[in-house]
């Protein structure tokens, strides 16, 4: 049983570019949440997708957008990249939208903006 998988694992982009990160949830999970983790900080919630819709959104600008597909996989898109967007981007999947059950994380995508 594959856990949460993310791609790519590492990425280097220049300021102003756009990036797309991908996530496949754990088998049987239908809810995907995205987090940004800067160095030395805890993960910060970006948004959550359930039934192909954005259910919750954290305090992130509109440059951050996402999508969930019918197979529950998800994408995170960031436009007009800034140096401050450099971080580890984590995808978490869970069994129910209320997140009262365990959330399983992927290994993350480490994005560096230069």
Partner 1 sequence: RKEVEQDPGPFNVPEGATVAFNCTYSNSASQSFFWYRQDCRKEPKLLMSVYSSGNEDGRFTAQLNRASQYISLLIRDSKLSDSATYLCVVNPRENTPLVFGKGTRLSVIA
* Residues of the shown chain interacting with partner 1 in the complex, contacts defined by CB under 8 A: 33, 35, 40-45, 48, 55-56, 58, 90, 92, 97-100, 102-108, 110
Give whichever of 66 and 108 is closer to partner 1, judged by the CB atom.
108
The minimum distance between CB 4 and partner 1, in angstroms, equals 8
Which residues are 7's β-sheet partners? 22
Give whichever of 39 and 84 is closer to partner 1, judged by the CB atom.
39
Q: CA angle 83-87-89, nearest 5°?
A: 130
Which residues are 31's β-sheet partners? 50, 94
The minimum distance between CB 38 and partner 1, in angstroms, equals 10
Give whichever of 30 and 97 is closer to partner 1, judged by the CB atom.
97
Give whichever of 72 and 105 is closer to partner 1, judged by the CB atom.
105
Which residues are 53's β-sheet partners? 50
Q: How far apart are the C-alpha atoms of 24 and 8, rounded to whole Å?
A: 12
The minimum distance between CB 55 and partner 1, in angstroms, equals 8
Q: How far apart are the C-alpha atoms of 11 and 33, rounded to whole Å?
A: 20
Token digits of residue 56: 């919750």
């Amino acid at each position: 049983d594959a856990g949460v998988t993310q791609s790519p694992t590492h990425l280097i982009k220049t300021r102003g570019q756009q990036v797309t990160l991908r996530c496949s949830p754990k088998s049987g999970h239908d809810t995907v949440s995205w987090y940004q983790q800067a160095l030395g900080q805890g993960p910060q919630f970006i948004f959550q997708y359930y039934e192909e819709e954005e259910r919750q959104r954290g305090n992130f600008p509109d440059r951050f957008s996402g999508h969930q597909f019918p197979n529950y996989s998800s994408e995170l898109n960031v436009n007009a990249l800034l140096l401050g967007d450099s971080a580890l981007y984590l995808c978490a999947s869970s069994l129910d939208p209320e997140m009262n059950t365990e959330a399983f994380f992927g290994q993350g995508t480490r994005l560096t903006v230069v």
